[in-house]
Structure 1
């Protein structure tokens, strides 16, 4: 337990996670105070009182139920996955003219996730893959806005004064204007498609939320569903580029399960992806003290994960598993460090979607999204490091301000099928 501020404690102990974030845990600290002007509805993620959060969370759980994902979201997802594969395929056509086909994986993963979140939240509206990236300045405005909020979180009373400074409030207003443009179109057209807006509006409720509340949650959905997944996908490609032997194992697994991964997928394909091994590989604290579980250091703590800075997807494999090439059981190779009896692996210290009643409402869709993108892209393409490029520069570019600032991740791309 480390004191990181006059009234703030941080811990990277796994056994502290549930008491902090779990049911009956601590309420959100002062860093979430005063984020919006008085009288303005706050988004779900900023709600500090558990009872209020539980009430608002109800429609989110309905929106991201297994039934809704199967009946509505999956169609949008597979259409966008097909579009991503199509655009990457066009880039590989450059090889026919003798030029090296190069792709910025960070840009394409970001464009994909913004497009799919626009689809399921407001019925569409961004089309970043079609334009080759963000041409509106929305993502840049979002980064500036969240950087400012991450700093002001330590002095929450300062929000009141910063909102009075036009240039300081400009980034947040700019992002909101661009992000809400599809919402305005959605309201004007009045479609009855069951997108996230349909659930958030909750018009069948005796007391439906205000339009301002729906707007706040809609903006949050775009941010929460795009930045997180884009960061995960880009980081995955980064580690695969640095570990070609693992990339090869993943390619073999995808090839053994699918013959064409951009065709419409049924439940059997979703089930296949869920079983693919390499794919899924005592103090008294004064009341009012802000306590956080420091996820980065918790998940890189060697007490819970041996070799925490080494990319070892097999750490998530069972000790004995089915070889997808020979369909027989075999033990992990003796040179594999994860086969060492002293190798630490404690899944209770791993919380990619947070934990407790305020965990990620869209986690099931996010998992499906990650699996679908990886399967489709790996089946069709192979990414390779560019000569003379230090891949480590991408990891060194990362900055965490609630969302993650990410630099370019350029790679050569070639077709496999």
Structure 2
């Protein structure tokens, strides 16, 4: 080692270690999830810049290669020092250290990612075990809490809440769903609400057309088992593409183009990845930023094509995108927003709800009595010609609500960030800048909120309201300013399919199949929207 090198090497070591400690004081105040590529760029730029400085100002580095090597090890020491400081702070000095939880969750969100993988994409089951072990407030990440107490719903999600959306929403392009800008969302939401309000009656007739096609598929089966999962997915996509863009994907009719089928399969396969990556949102940001090939690019391209095709339509009937086009500037930024919103429309189908509701009224299941009870109610509506999928029916809506309670379509708990100066929920003080999520699945099955919470009792929404102990604990479409804009449309789909199917068909399980409800529903996956295990049902026309 040359004399000059011997003198400068300790300085570089000390500089690297000290820089890491100093840098920690900065980065712990920044949401790094928002800037992963910037962080990588700073790392690379620091190495290259330091190498130039060493080469130009230190005689011991005769060429750029040797200077680069010294710079590399210096910046690497900085990064190692930074992470050591981060981990020590998270483990022993973080404001959330008073909250219980797995030790691994204190250190990194990779703990949660690992649990998602181990549970085979059933995070809601992981959160159930965490509640049993740790209680109502569980630390599930370095600065994250999972909350199981219904008292937190209004403070976090209600109309007067000052909590902003969490870092997960940064992982995707800005849309009505993903934006964290409250003022932008408020302005954009008015447009979406108008799109539903002005055209909801038109959407009803469209929904009924697709229900006709779905029932025709049941009829064509001639009493043979039908793979109901695929049909429900096709129904949801056809409805949303039609009310969204005036152009059906035609999955139910079997006339869908090959590329649309490829997109559908890619989206379905990608749901599991989204469930995993929502725990490490910086990965979503990276994937979104570098999507120059593969399924994500194909989906984005296809969604953009739907917007452009809708823009060029002559005299279209009212639809969601028509309202959005009319209220969005025809600029690069406006088109980018429309493309992102189009993906929200396409992904908004509730196929899981259709499956669960059909199962709830299936003969031979533990709920077999509800097929008969529901039929008594809807027979009157059809006979008196008062049926309308936009019109509530007591038992029908009770069945739907009970299915929504037990299996909310999205179990991801509406991630929020606690504002300054912190928030008190009950007698629990939560520090500012804490990322919190509500354990929706557990809250809607909590003894404190419902009598016999694990039982399917639609009457709790009709004739037995005493079985509901806390009405605020029901939030399948969320609440407050960020609630689901398409709730009314989803309810119309559910009423149409369930009511008309039960009115026309006897629904049963495949003869000889041993259906264990507990085993079946334990197989439900939590990939952002629920993934229901494959099941076949039999539809036989009444009276035949």
TM over 0.5: yes
Deviation at 1:45, TM superposition (A): 0.8
Which structure carries more helix by proportion? 2
Q: Contact 1:201/1:208 (CA < 8 Å) preserved in 2? A: no
The alpha-carbon deviation at position 68 of structure 1 amounts to 1.8
Tell whether the 8 Å contact from 1:107 to 1:133 is kept in structure 2 after alignment: no
SS in 1 for 2:500: helix
SS of the residue corresponding to residue 321 of structure 2 reads: helix
The yes-or-no answer on 1:270 pairing with 2:388 is yes
- Which structure's CA Rg is the greater one? 2
Separation in structure 1 between the aligned mates of residue 515 and residue 257 of structure 2, nearest angstrom = 25
Report Cα offsets for 1:270-326 as digits up to 9, x if no partner.
38941333443433322221111111000011111122221111121234xxxxxxx
- Output aligned runs, 1:13-24, within 5 Å: 13-24=149-160
The answer to whether 1:415 aligns with 2:544 is no
Instruction: Indicate if the aligned counterparts of 2:164 and 2:182 stay in contact, CA closer than 8 A.
Output: yes
Unpaired runs of 5+ residues, structure 2, are 1-136, 400-426
User: Could you say what the CA RMSD is over the residues aligned between the two structures, in angstroms?
Assistant: 2.8
CA distance in 2, matches of 1:198, 1:255: 37
The structure 2 residue matched to 1:31, chosen from 149, 168, 182, is 168
Which residue number in structure 1 is paired with residue 300 of structure 2?
A: 176
After superposition, residues 46-85 of structure 1 pair within 5 angstroms as: 46-65=178-197, 67-70=198-201, 72-85=202-215
- Say whether 1:383 aligns with 2:507: yes
Retained in 1: the 8 A contact 2:524–2:530? yes
Report the equivalent of 1:295: 440
Instruction: Indicate which of 470, 481, 490 corresponds to 1:357.
Output: 481
200 and 148 in structure 1: CA distance in 2 versus 1, 3 angstrom threshold: same
For residues 251 and 150 of structure 2, what CA distance do their matches in structure 1 show?
Answer: 39
Whether 2:442 is the aligned partner of 1:317: answer: no
2-side partners of 1:196 and 1:394: how far apart? Answer: 36
Specify whether residues 389 and 184 from structure 1 end up closer, same or farther in structure 2 by C-alpha distance, changes over 3 A only.
farther
Say which SS state the counterpart of residue 145 (structure 1) adopts. helix
Q: What is aligned with 2:132?
A: none
The superposition leaves residues 159-217 of structure 1 with CA deviations (integer Å, 9 ceiling, x where unpaired) of 354457779x6232233344444334323434443211111112587999711211110
CA displacement 1:380-417 (0-9 Å, x = unmatched): 11111112243535423321122222232201210016
Task: Name the residue aligned to 1:157.
Answer: 282
Calculate the TM-score normalised by the size of structure 2. 0.63
Q: Which residue of 1 aligns with 2:522?
A: 396
Shift in alpha-carbon separation, 1:34–1:205, aligned structure 2, 3 A: closer
**Count of paired positions:** 372
Task: Please point out which of 211, 226, 232 is paired with 1:103.
Answer: 226
Give the 3 Å change call, closer, same or farther, for CA 113–146 of structure 1 in structure 2: same
Contact 2:310 2:322 in 1 (8 A): no
Cα 1:382/1:279, change in 2 over 3 Å:
farther
What are structure 1's unaligned runs of at least 5 residues? 37-41, 96-100, 320-337
2:264 corresponds to: 139
